[in-house]
Amino acid sequence: MPIYSSLKTSQLIKSIREAYQAGQEDEALEPIVAVGSSGQVLGRFERGDYAIFYNIRGEREIELTQSFVDRNFSHFPVKKDLQLNFVTMIEYDSSLDVKVAFPSDGKIKNTLAEVLSKEGIRLLKISESEKAAHVGFFMNGRNEKTFPGEERIIVPSPEGISSYALKPEMSASQVREAISSNLKNPAYPMIIANLANVDVVGHIENKAAVLRAVETVDQELGKIIEDCRTQSVTLIVTSDHGTVEEWLYANGTVNTGHTKNPAPFILADFSSEDQKSWHLKQEGDLSDVAPTLLELLDLKKPLEMTGESLILNSPQAAKAERRVLLLILDGWGMRQEREGNLIAEAETPNFDKLWFDYPHSYLRAAGEAVGMPSNTVGNSEAGHLHLGAGRKVRLDRVKIDEAIEDGSFFRNDAFRWAMEGAKRDKKSLHLMGIVSRYSSHGTIKHLFALLRLAQQIELPHVFIHSLIGRRGEKPESGAVYVSKVEEMCQTLSLGQVVTVIGRFWALDREENWDRVEKAYRALVFGEGKQAILEL
């Protein structure tokens, strides 16, 4: 049975709203922990408890999971005798000692990087650290492996600032310098690079900073264009999804999330003066980019790549000698309407001239085109995955949603192992993950399904640890979602929200262990602002 009434439930929401009034935002919300009237912190992780981390995507979930299950963990002090029985929704990392509810369908074979490696073609990837996982792990088919002949330059993103709104330029100039330097090196027939500013700064509700981010990318693009022209390199410009080209919702409020709009694709072949002979399809998918790149290098597309080249006709040049730069303008979407379109509002002379002077296409970058449910926005993970895979990949969210619909979710071996084990051993079950209507990390829908399964099994002690701060949500939406979770717990007469914390602390991927430690100490030791529930 739940240990709260509607009055007591409101105490947690009240604490969240007090944090808002003090200037905190969802993503970096300091930990809030539930405390009983006697002063005892409720629902902490105890020895032998069972836990389900229901987030999807994976790369931002690894570090926190390590702190719970790695017996040799040494990045900060942990409770050594927890011995948790841990389940993850998908596989975050093959080295983690956990059960996985929805294992991978198998290796994505013959991605762009793997094909180039097999052909003996050296590949260089350049990004700043904010996007290193995207051009590495995701573009290689969610594969941790670096293929023979594949090299990476990771430029550190700015450190020591509270928000990228204070430095919307990020490390774009350093990324561009690395691109320019290596364009002079004929040893790399293929370079893939990412300029992160538009996506990263676009998640911040600061119009001036966003405009500066867009213009920074355009300025660096102009320098890259000239370098490609000087070195006779074929330049491909594209994106992984849209963001700030649709900055406003229909009601006029700011939308800091991703969009459903297409991504650009521009082919500027500076190895040939005969640009009029190039003809491209008017539209395609992100999964068509890898086959197009292979054609530019005169390489055969593998059978696994179901995407199609965007090239309809090309000059009769010596393709085998061509060098190619794939430049990903992260978050740069295409939208004709100018209202609320910050890319149109910004000064972008270099992109505009490239778009009008060279062959171009529109690429579908959201929904089913990138393996996601119909009518959903794109994201960086799905976008980069499809850019590298050259085929449509059904994403984990779709598989999980289908499992809920057909009932197999409630027969899942890993879930039942955790819940039946908790009941048998008289231990608590902990459900930890994002609370959001829609996030690349997961959805409240999956949490509710887990709660319904826990009700079927009649678990007495279910504790929920809510991570808030989905980018693109309206301000202060975290309190709304936590309230919805509490309402579901009341409806089912099961479960208690006992922790609320911003995703900034819990979902790190760059070894900022001080952040992860804050999340761990809240979850295990109950450190944080106390929301006192009258029992």
Instruction: Decide which of 378, 393, 408 is a domain's last residue.
Output: 393
Measured from the Cβ of residue 408, the count of other Cβ atoms closer than 10 Å reads 11
Verify that 372 and 413 share a domain, yes or no: no
Contact of 89 with 55, CB cutoff 8 Å: yes
Verify that 311 and 427 share a domain, yes or no: no
Please count the helices (runs of H) and the strands (runs of E) in the chain: 17, 18
> What is the predicted pLDDT for the residue at 9?
46
> What is the predicted pLDDT for the residue at 105?
79
For residue 94, what is the domain's CATH number? Answer: 3.40.1450
In-domain check, residue 117: no
In-domain check, residue 114: no
Verify that 198 and 259 share a domain, yes or no: yes
Distance CA 368, CA 147 (A): 29
Residue 224 sits in which domain range? Answer: 122-156+166-393
Verify that 445 and 401 share a domain, yes or no: yes
Contact of 61 with 49, CB cutoff 8 Å: no
Instruction: Decide which of 340, 367, 393 is a domain's last residue.
Output: 393
In-domain check, residue 480: yes
Q: Which of 409, 404, 488, 497 is nearest to 448 (CA)?
A: 488
Spatial CB neighbours of 54, under 8 Å, sequence gap ≥ 6: 89, 431, 432, 433, 442, 446, 447, 450
In-domain check, residue 116: no
Distance CA 247, CA 249 (A): 7
Name residue 27's amino acid.
E
Number of domains observed in the structure of the chain: 2
CA dihedral 74, 80, 86, 88 (to 10 degrees): -20
Verify that 87 and 195 share a domain, yes or no: no
**Low-confidence spans in the chain with pLDDT less than 70:** 1-9, 317-320, 470-473, 534-535
Distance CA 500, CA 448 (A): 17
pLDDT in tens, 162-185: 789 999 999 999 999 999 999 999
Instruction: Decide which of 355, 371, 393 is a domain's last residue.
Output: 393
Verify that 298 and 437 share a domain, yes or no: no
Chain centre to alpha carbon of residue 379: 6
Distance CA 427, CA 450 (A): 17
Verify that 89 and 143 share a domain, yes or no: no
Neighbouring-strand partners of residue 326: 192, 236
Verify that 126 and 39 share a domain, yes or no: no
For residue 221, what is the domain's CATH number? Answer: 3.40.720.10
- Tallying the residues shown for the chain, one arrives at 535
Verify that 433 and 518 share a domain, yes or no: yes
Spatial CB neighbours of 161, under 8 Å, sequence gap ≥ 6: 167
In-domain check, residue 108: no
> What is the predicted pLDDT for the residue at 273?
78
Neighbouring-strand partners of residue 86: 51
pLDDT in tens, 269-292: 998 877 778 999 999 999 999 999
In-domain check, residue 24: yes
Provide the angle, in degrees to the nearest 10, between the axes of the packed helices 444-457 and 477-492: 20
Verify that 357 and 448 share a domain, yes or no: no
Distance CA 176, CA 165 (A): 20
Contact of 442 with 487, CB cutoff 8 Å: no
Verify that 208 and 278 share a domain, yes or no: yes
Structure tokens at 463: 């504790």
In-domain check, residue 276: yes
Structure tokens at 387: 């850019």
Provide the angle, in degrees to the nearest 10, between the axes of the packed helices 396-406 and 444-457: 40
Verify that 513 and 418 share a domain, yes or no: yes
In-domain check, residue 256: yes
Structure tokens at 120: 């003996």
